[in-house]
Amino acid sequence: MTVTSDLAGLLIRVALREDVPALVALFADDALGGHGDTADPSAVREYLVAFDWIAENPTNTIFVAELDGEVVGTFQTILGRSLSGRGATHLTVAAVQTRADVRGRGIGAAMLRFAIERAGALGASKVKLTSNASRTDAHRFYRRLGFAQSHAGFTLSLRSEASD
């Protein structure tokens, strides 16, 4: 599926297992995320186990953005439903990453437009995302795309090596 963008050659598609090394490299290059991601080969099995679990879950999907055949971005969508809001369905967008050397070229905006269109097609009443409090540039980016900061988030880490 090709996405409307100012970037010729941009493709957003469902991630494949063979994309995992490129995705790990994106996450490991993120100094602000604080998720403990690493490109260390000894961690590959953990990433593959997680990828397989997500791929088997019908409400979760990992996408990649490819530019001229190279993975330059990623995001995950999680379809959820809550009893509140009269059983409202929502699409949560997570793990949004664009490769550092191609930021500012519209790839992130194309990925989020894709996620928003997907949410509409799935009948979701809203699109949600969270962002680390230290990502002030990302917050400005999300606001430019029409997202409003509506909630305060809290995290309780259960493992010392991760701070989601």
Q: Which residues contact 53 (CB under 8 A, 6 or more apart)?
A: none
User: For residue 161, is it within any domain?
Assistant: no
pLDDT in tens, 87-110: 999 999 999 999 999 999 999 999
Report the pLDDT value the prediction gives residue 32, as an integer from 0 to 100. Answer: 66
What predicted TM-score, i.e. pTM, was given to this entire model? 0.87
pLDDT in tens, 124-148: 999 999 888 888 888 899 999 999 9
Question: What φ, ψ does residue 127 adopt, rounded to 5°?
Answer: -115, 130
Q: Which domain holds residue 62?
A: 10-144
Report the pLDDT value the prediction gives residue 52, as an integer from 0 to 100. Answer: 98
Nearest of 104, 129, 133 to residue 32 by alpha carbon: 133
Mean pLDDT for the chain overall: 88
Phi-psi region of 146 (alpha: psi -120 to 50; beta: other; left: phi over 0): left
User: For residue 38, is it within any domain?
Assistant: yes
Q: What domain count does the chain have? A: 1
CATH number of the domain residue 17 falls in: 3.40.630.30
Q: Got the DSSP string for 3-55?
A: ---SSTTEEEEE--GGGHHHHHHHHHT-TTT-S-----GGGHHHHHHHHHHHH
The rounded distance, in Å, linking the Cα atoms of 137 and 128 is 18
Token pair recorded at residue 31? 């100094």
Report the pLDDT value the prediction gives residue 3, as an integer from 0 to 100. Answer: 47
pLDDT in tens, 36-68: 777 888 888 999 999 999 999 999 999 999 999
